[in-house]
Amino acid sequence: MLTKDLIGQVANATGLSKKKVEQLLTTNNAIMRETLMAGKAVQLQGLGTLEVKEKKERAIVHPRTGERKIIPSKKQLVFRPVANLKDELKKI
Amino acid sequence: MADNKLSWTELRRALANRAGVTEKEANLFLNAFNAQLVEALKSDKQVKINGLGIFRLQTVAPRKSVNVASGEEITIGEYNKIAFVPEAGVKELVEKGLQPSAITNKAAEPVDPIQKLGAQAEEIVDLLGELGQGTKEPSAVSNQPAEKPKAKKAKTKAKAEEPKAEIEEPSAVSIQPSEPVVEEPSAVSIQPSEPVVEEPSAVSIQPSEPVVEEPSAVSIQPSEPVVEEPKAEEPKEAPKKQYHFMRDTLICVVILLMLLLVGYFFLRTQISSWIESLMKDEPKVEMVAEPVVEEPEIVIVEEPEEWTYDELLLTENIAEGSRLAWISKKYYGNKVYWPYLYEANKDHIDNPSLITVGTPIRVPKLSAAEKDTTTAQFQQLKAKAYEKVGMLAN
């Protein structure tokens, strides 16, 4: 499903206009991005948490050339679903 | 934990503030958004949200494992998990993201523009000293006249700067009575030629913008002042661009018209000569006809190499953000079959990774044999399609 379809569905469910929903969605995304950029997590009730995780640096060996390398530490955006939802979707 | 997390209530409040809606509406939207996201995950298995990323329901294949306690072999059944892939831009933002320390250091940043202003004020003093013979004026005095003329021209800019001038040299402000200061700028501004008056104003625009905007921007990006500076030049360029655009389109239209004319005359002469030759050499054409019959046989031999479909499932117009792999997953259950889609639509798609929104995509029906990805035919199609992408991408 693409953003457009989702906007349509949300508009149907709430009775808000599509334009309004689109505006809300973009603002919401902007807020989330800014929050995540600052290193804070975003809690989405009933859905999960979007958070920034620090990945430690690690050493790897290239399987073909045998070359050793160090991958520097980095930050990664991860989504952690709520336990409820996780279980619910497992069975589908 | 509470400091490190934007809670549901905070998000709702921020959204209501930013979007200019009531908190109730924001709440309604957020709840519906989450509910629909879950529904969509269940039905479509993937949801793309522009400006954030893609939520996907991934199926984890069953696998064998060993019971650690008893050493027994057990199988872990198939299950689904939610995967989230951030959009490229978002990923980059997060990777670069502000360090917590950088956020607390915000207070130190506003000093920089003031220092810049100070340095520029000194330059202005030098200029005034050279041109306006301002040898008698102490630096503090000449600082103010440099900024006062602007106050007459552009009050808004001056408002932003005057307090800063006071921050720089508070002592100077308190010592100097206001009247001589007002008199001096007029004397100074008359003596030097006009460029001098313009120069400081041009210089001052740059520091003033970052200073005004920073309080709001600080929490987001430290580099913003640098980005903001070129803005002063943009408005000048905009009308030029428009003019260029108009000229370019005019040239394009003229060229197109000429091409059409040339093509029309070329075709007319071609067709007339062809008809003439037909009229003259009718018996010859019959002679030629026999070898022509052989040619189609060769063509028929070539055709089976190219894959064609028998039955059309449907035609879908490509939506914003969609792609062939996406459609392939939607109708065939797996994205690997996209080369078939490309093959079926290659008459109007040049680059499979660059399709304009709204392009109709014919979705052929695939037989079980065609869904076998190990066949030579599929490999050939795949290689061709990938080569197309690679060639055009490079």
Reported as a single tens digit per residue, the pLDDT across B166-188 is 444 444 434 444 444 434 444 44
Residue B38 to residue A85, Cβ atoms within 8 A: yes
Q: Which one is predicted more confidently, B220 or B54? A: B54
User: What pLDDT is stored for residue B281 in this prediction?
Assistant: 60
Residues B277 and B334 in one domain: no
Please tell me whether residues B191 and B168 are part of one structural domain: yes
CB-closest option in B21, B32, B53 to A13 = B32
Model confidence at B161: pLDDT above 50: no
Q: Could you tell me the CA-to-CA distances from B10 to A4, A32, A78, A80, B86 in Å, in that order?
A: 26, 11, 20, 19, 22
Residue A15 confidence (pLDDT): 86
> Which domain CATH number covers B320?
3.10.350
Residues B139 and B183 in one domain: yes
User: Is A69 found in the same domain as A53?
Assistant: yes
Q: What is the number of CB-based contacts under 8 A between chain A and chain B?
A: 175
A58 Rama class: left (phi>0) / alpha (psi -120 to 50) / beta? beta
Are A47 and A91 part of one and the same domain?
A: yes
Which of A3, A31, A41 lies nearest to residue B50, judging by beta carbons?
Answer: A3
Residue A85 structural domain:
42-92
Based on the domain organization, do B21 and B58 belong to the same domain?
yes
Q: How many domains does chain A have?
A: 2
Instruction: Let me know if B297 is exposed, middle or buried by CB neighbors in 10 A (0-12, 13-18, 19+).
Output: exposed
Question: Do A85 and A48 share a domain, yes or no?
Answer: yes
ipTM above 0.90, yes or no: no
Are A35 and A68 part of one and the same domain? no
Q: What is the pLDDT of residue B285?
A: 47
Q: Flag whether pLDDT at A81 surpasses 70.
A: yes
Minimal-distance CA residue of chain A relative to B14: A31
pLDDT for position B387: 81
- Residues B304-329 have pLDDT tens digits of 466 777 778 888 888 777 788 888 88
Distance CA B111, CA B71 (A): 66
Interface residue of A7, A37, A53, A76 to substitute, partner B, most B CBs within 10 Å: A37
Give the tens place of pLDDT for each residue, B100-144. 444 443 333 444 555 666 667 777 777 777 676 544 444 444 444
Same domain, B259 and B300: yes
Of B209, B231, B253, the position where a domain reaches its end is B231
Close Cβ partners of B348 (under 8 Å, ≥ 6 residues apart): B359
- The domain boundary, picked from B304, B330, B360, lies at B304
| Segment A12-37, tens digit of pLDDT | 888 888 888 888 888 988 888 888 88
Confidence of residue A68 (pLDDT cuts 50, 70, 90): very high
**Average confidence score pLDDT of chain B:** 68
Nearest-angstrom CA–CA distance, B380 and A88: 41
Q: Residue B150: which region, alpha, beta or left (left: phi > 0; alpha: psi -120 to 50)? A: alpha
To the nearest whole Å, the CA of A7 is away from the closest chain B CA by 8
Instruction: State the sign of the Cα–Cα–Cα–Cα dihedral B325, B328, B334, B338.
Output: negative
Q: Provide the CATH number for the domain around residue A55.
A: 4.10.520.10
pLDDT score at A61: 93
What is this structure's pTM? 0.44
Question: Quick one: B12 and B77 in the same domain?
Answer: yes
CB-based contact A2 B48, cutoff 8 Å:
yes
CB B364 within 8 A of CB B309: yes
CATH code, domain with B86 = 4.10.520.10
Q: Tell me the residue range of the domain where B272 lies.
A: 237-304
Instruction: Provide the number of structural domains found in chain B.
Output: 4
